[in-house]
Structure 1
Amino acid sequence: MTTHPATEHTGHPRRWAILGVLVFSLLVVVLDNTILNVALRTIADPRRGLGATQSELEWSINSYTLVFAGLLFTFGVVGDRLGRKRVLVAGMAVFGLSSLASAYAQNPEQLIAARALMGLGGAAIMPQTLSIITNVFDPRERGRAIGVWSGAVGLAVAIGPVTGGLLLDHFWWGSVFLINVPIVAVGLAGMLWLVPESRNPAPGRIDPLGVLLSIVGLVALSYGIIEGGERGRWLEPVVLGPIAAGLAVIALFAWHEARTDHPAFDVRLFRDPRLSVAVGSIAFCFFATSGVFFFGSFYLQSVRGLSPLQAGLMMLPFAAAQLIFSPGSAAMVRRYGARAVCTTGMLLVTAAMLGYQLCDGNSPLWIFGVVAFVQGSGMANVMPPATESVMSALPREKAGAGSAINNTARQVAVAMGVAVLGSLVASVYRGEMRGPLDRLPAGVPEDVRHAAGESIEGTLGLANGLGPAGDALVAPAREAFVHGMHVAVLGSAIVAFLGALLVMRWMPGRNAPQPEPSGPEPGAARVGQRL
């Protein structure tokens, strides 16, 4: 193995072109979720979509995120063992095929299953992108590269809702998944041409028991939370049982991972405070934010009457903030330290969550845009420094593990945020609509009243079917939804503020001692010579 002097640049000669391909690959994963947020209302429509209920919509998101999160760490190890490029290409192929299946799903159950398969492909893609970036970039440029990688999330947020709105204005709902196929094709071509192969010379073993426990625990916990929101009653055995079982399995998973020599999710890495606090800030940030994207689409379309395209355009301020501030976050960290930058970002997210309290059925829409910009600014100052803290806390040969930890935290937080905050909105909505639905004419069947009370789309659908007699339901439905949204964003603000306190107290500051840098991965300097 060649020894490099400290001043020699160890990056791949085509590293920036490789970064472009990896960012393009990342776009397809993030783009899928941002497009889906705009399409939720259409998928819930029984005439234009699949007639999905509130819980089925939550599962269409969580079937993806839970499989994604449960397999991320495993695919990080698989990439380290089999080759990161090879796993990345396979993941893109699976993602493209499952996108086709999602586009042509005939009912909500088929969509949920196809989305789970998409999660499998996404889990293979995401950790490889960050691992390859860590491998091909010199440590002196890695922060900047990760800033570009993080900024791609903002770009996807910009492209996704607008693209989804354009598609839904002209085509059927499945087009929001079909758009992934040409992106996958272009990404695969770029990978095969540019991306070098790399491996960990001493990869870990796969832990199938850990993978099984993690997925079972998260699915059971999510099921109980979503079921509680759907029923509006949290003290029933069908709700408490899955929640308790999920927590018990997750505890067993953590116990198993701390004792096995080949963990699926190495909880021992959290002994490094720089890594554990950074991962915590990512999780708190995405938990607080996930609910906004879930119910924001219904607020803009069902409450404010915007078209899918107009609703997509309303998310541009969030995306613009990501694109403006993410690339410069590395310089901010060098000047002020990761603690100050991350704390400020979390406080901005907290302020944005409180700002959504100003959005109601009659408020000017520019308020929503301003609040979304503040939210995007906050996330742009949390994600890059937190991600860099995670990756720099580990040696280069552990890049797959670090990438998986980073993205597992993100996806679990999204799944729990959608489950908890979505269920909170559903509970508040159902409670407030009980009276107006009870006052309907006696001829309306009880099961129809119950279905209408599950979501604002169900209520508005019933109102349209009743004609003039249903007009009395529209205003109460919109008010009930806005109230539920306000309760949820207040909970999000509390979570984000707790995250800010966590970062302020335990994240290392600018003058914190740095760990000894590890050398390049064996063979890494020779990677560029293969092309």
Structure 2
Amino acid sequence: MDRYLRLRWVGLVFISIAVSLIIVDSTIVNVAIPAIVDDLGITSTEVQWVQEAYTLVFAALLLVFGSLADRFGRRRVMVTGVIVFAAASVLAALAADGGLLILARLLQGVGGAMILPTTLSIINATFRGRERGIAFAVWGSTIGGMAAVGPLLGGWLTTDFSWRWAFGINIPLGILVVIGVLLTVAESRSDRTDRIDGVGALLSIVTMGSLVFGLIEGRTYGWWLVDQRPQIGDWTWPWDLSPIPIAFALAIAGLIAFIAWGVGRQRRGKSTLLALRLFSIRSFRNGNIAAGVVALGEFGIILALPLWLQFVLGFDALQTGLLLLALAGGSFVASGAAGATSGRIAPVWIVRAGLIAEIIGVAGIGFLIAPEASWVPIIPFLFIYGLGVGLATAQLTGVVLADVPVADSGAASGTQSTSRQLGAALGVAILGTVLFTSTAGILSSSLDERGLPAAQRDQVVSAVVDSAGAAISGLEAKPDTADIAADAKAAFSDGTRYAAWTAAGFLALGLLSTISLGATAGRARASDDEASGEDEEAETAGEDAR
């Protein structure tokens, strides 16, 4: 135990690399998507599912693996997750079509869901006082920074090698993490031996799956009446009512059933998948609400901007990644600022400052987006946005977990991560819908003004939207469709702008939601821990270790 205590900061490095593994992979795909579209010929809906399949499974299983980690060992679950993630990355790298790639992303989501909550719970169980604030700052800034390094790495690999290496890079990183964690991180678990809530897990998957499916597929199948009939093999959807309202109704019913089931189990003294009893803790309850709302807007620009840069401005993948490096710079600057202010400024004020920076950055980018825009003024706004992500992410995590008992850290971490990932999943789905629906509507109107026949208009709109913008270059290359390509660029720019402003709107709601956290949220726990002294820290750093 003394060895692990001495190596806790080295262990934090490997924990941060594990976080980087799943964050880089979730962002690296954004830059690689255009190459994947060209190589595999996937549609815009499949583009969203390549991104959402990972996020959906990730969010659905976080609670399950957070609880499992508390019972069976946090380090054990984390290492298993890294192995699953790396194996799924091999499948993704070898995928021959969109369906196999989506399957691989689903499996990666399983591995990611095993990794993220355990990294948080290990930090919560290992560090105390001011050290905990610094550790959370490192964890959060890693997320923000890697969200930008991912596109750079993906751009380099995609441009100089192949998009398949964007997944293959996970193999050596996974091996490094497994070895490092086993050598430097102590095993820990709670004393709870009750059974996992299987029904609650099933209800959570049904709820989130139905909701995200409805948001992604609404523009394809119709929001109320069917526009395009879904097909599974030889079976075709037979009703005029679209499956989308049914999916939303199923999501609402699933949520109600999930809450009712959890409350019933709690009254009987049984474990619940969602740590309902922890919602009596004000910082935990209000912090989770804020985290979910903030996540709706945080990753929106990362979805739309790479597509716009490559298909409208003509950047290649590496140039796109280099531009997004400004976001990483802002996040790493925030890392130093967050560590320096730990214990001195109430975390909630740092969260609010970060959200204000994010709003300024995203909204500013929205104002700059145009078919003939220059990339130069985008850089400072990306830096400001990255600065905000780095400040807000780590400190909000600290606020949520500040008053949670260490024995419940896995379940609490899973709940907090689920709030963020559910928000991110909904955000990507909503902002993707805003991007592609706006593009389709604006382009249709422009082509109508040109007097294009309805059939040809619909064909052009479908080609541009279904290819997520990749068809624009083909239209531009032909003299007789160059004007249509100009309309498509303008429409895609408008769609990207509206997506950015929608993201800024969600972030503004997130800022308002932090009002419920009070003025000093998250500070009391840190002060109490510091007062306990170094002896207590040494005694409890590996609490419940096995």
Structure 2 residue 406 is matched with structure 1 residue 406: no
Paired with 1:177 and 1:131, the residues of 2 have a C-alpha distance of 27
- CA distance, structure 2, for counterparts of residue 499 and residue 445 of structure 1: 39
Q: 1:527: how far off?
A: 7.3
In the alignment, is the contact (CA less than 8 A) between 1:200 and 1:521 conserved in 2?
no
- Structure 2 unmatched ranges of 5 or more: 227-240
CA shift, 1:89, in A, is 1.3
Q: Separation in 1 of the partners of 2:93 and 2:501?
A: 35
What secondary structure is seen at the aligned counterpart in 1 of 2:114?
helix
Deviations 1:483-504 (A, max 9, x none): 1122222222221111111112
- Compute the TM-score of the two structures, normalised by the length of structure 2: 0.88
Of the three residues 332, 343, 347, the one matched with 2:352 is 343
CA deviation string 1:28-53 (max 9, x = no partner): 111101211111122222xxx21121
Q: How does 1:273-422 map to 2 (within 5 A)?
A: 273-332=282-341, 334-359=343-368, 360-422=370-432
Is 1:491 equivalent to 2:473 in the alignment? no
How far has the Cα of 1:339 moved from its partner?
Answer: 2.8
- 1:105 alignment partner, SS class: coil
Corresponding residue for 1:151? Answer: 141
Work out the CA distance in 1 between the residues paired with 2:353 and 2:542: 41
Q: Of 259, 273, 280, which residue of structure 1 is paired with 2:264?
A: 259
The offset of 1:349, in angstroms, is 1.7
Q: CA deviation at 1:383?
A: 1.3
The residue aligned with 2:31 is 38
Aligned to 1:138: 128
- Post-superposition Cα deviations, 1:259-311, rounded to whole Å, max 9, x if no partner, equal 32211112332222211222223222221122211111111111111110000
Q: Which moved more, 1:453-462 or 1:271-280?
A: 453-462
What is the deviation of 1:18?
A: 0.9
Q: Does 1:450 align with 2:462?
A: yes
In structure 2, the residue matched to 1:6 is: none
Q: CA distance change for structure 1 residues 42 and 298 in 2, over 3 Å: closer, same or farther?
A: same
Aligned-partner residue type, residue 390 of structure 1 = V
CA distance in 2, matches of 1:481, 1:442: 20
Corresponding residue pairs, total: 519
SS in 2 for 1:382: helix
2:61 aligned with 1:71, yes or no? yes
Q: Residues 513 and 184 (structure 1 numbering): CA distance in 2 closer, same or farther, change over 3 Å?
A: closer
Deviation at 1:136, TM superposition (A): 1.9
1:209 aligns with 2:199: yes
- Does structure 1 residue 89 correspond to structure 2 residue 79? yes
- The 1:431/1:512 distance shift into structure 2, 3 A limit, reads same
1:151-300 mapped onto 2 (5 Å cutoff): 151-230=141-220, 236=226, 237-238=241-242, 239-260=244-265, 261-300=270-309
Q: Matched residue of 2:40: which SS?
A: coil
The yes-or-no answer on 1:14 pairing with 2:14 is no
Is the contact between residue 203 and residue 255 of structure 2 (CA under 8 Å) also seen in structure 1? yes
Deviation at 1:461, TM superposition (A): 6.0
Structure-1 separation of matches of 2:264 and 2:146: 39
Return the alpha-carbon distance in structure 2 between the equivalents of residues 391 and 129 of structure 1. 13
What do residues 296-353 of structure 1 show as CA deviations (whole Å, max 9, x unaligned)? 1111111111110000011111111111112432543533322322222222222222
Counterpart position of 1:110: 100
Instruction: Measure how far apart 1:507 and its partner are.
Output: 3.3
Distance (Å, rounded) in 2 between the aligned partners of 1:255 and 1:527: 33
Question: Secondary structure of 2:192's match?
Answer: coil
Residue 137 to residue 354, structure 1, CA distance change in 2 (3 Å): same
CA separation of 1:508 and 1:325: change in aligned 2, threshold 3 A: same
User: Kindly tell me: are residues 337 and 234 of structure 1, through their superposed partners in 2, closer, same or farther at Cα, counting changes over 3 Å?
Assistant: farther
CA contact (8 A) 1:278 1:386 kept: yes
Quick check: 195-204 or 506-515, which moved more? Answer: 506-515
Letter in 2 for 1:259: G
Report the CA distance between 1:250 and its aligned residue.
2.0
Partners of 1:463 and 1:145 in 2: CA distance: 51
- Residue identity over aligned pairs, in percent, reads 31
Query: Which of 479, 482, 504 is residue 490 of structure 2 equivalent to?
Result: 479
Name the CA distance, whole Å, in 2 between partners of 1:203 and 1:291: 40
In structure 2, how many angstroms separate the alpha carbons of the residues matched to 1:157 and 1:491?
A: 20
Report which stretch shifted further, 445-454 or 104-113.
445-454
Distance in 1 (alpha carbons) for counterparts of 2:338 and 2:213: 37
1:140-180 CA-partner distances (Å, limit 9, x unpaired) = 41111111111212332343111111111122221111111
Matched residues in 1 for 2:252 and 2:358: separation? 28
Other structure's SS at 1:306 match = coil
- Contact kept? 2:141, 2:391, Cα under 8 Å: no
Alpha-carbon distance, 1:16 to partner: 0.6
Conserved? CA contact 1:285–1:379, under 8 Å: no
- Provide structure 1 residue ranges, at least 5 long, that are not aligned to the other structure: 3-8
Spell out, residue by residue over 1:396-435, the C-alpha distance to the aligned partner (whole angstroms, 9 max, x if none): 1111012112211121111101111101111111112225
Counterpart CA distance in 2 for 1:429 and 1:234 is 20
For 2:454 and 2:348, locate their aligned partners in 1 and report how far apart those are by CA, in whole Å: 61
Contact 1:344 1:378 in 2 (8 A): yes
TM normalised by structure 1 equals: 0.90
1:460 matched to 2:472? The reply is: yes
Are the counterparts in 2 of residues 274 and 508 from structure 1 also a CA contact under 8 Å? no
C-alpha contact (below 8 Å) 2:189/2:544 kept by paired residues:
no
AA aligned opposite 1:329:
A
* Greater mean alpha carbon deviation, residues 239-248 or residues 116-125: 239-248
Shift of 1:444: 6.0
Q: Distance in 2 between matches of 1:525 and 1:303?
A: 52
Name the SS of the counterpart of 2:398 in structure 1: helix
Moved more, 249-258 or 299-308: 249-258
Is the partner of 2:105 in helix, strand or coil? helix
| CA distance 1:248–1:151, change in 2 (3 Å) | same
Instruction: State the distance in 1 between where 2:360 and 2:337 align.
Output: 21
Deviations 1:79-125 (A, max 9, x none): 11111121111111100100000111111111111101000011111
Task: Please name the residue that 2:230 is paired with.
Answer: none
Structure 2 CA distance for aligned equivalents of residues 18 and 506 of structure 1: 31
Cα pair 1:338 1:509 within 8 Å, conserved: yes
Contact 1:27/1:156 (8 A) holds in 2 = yes
Counterparts of 1:62 and 1:148, CA distance in 2: 27
The amino acid that maps onto 1:39 is A
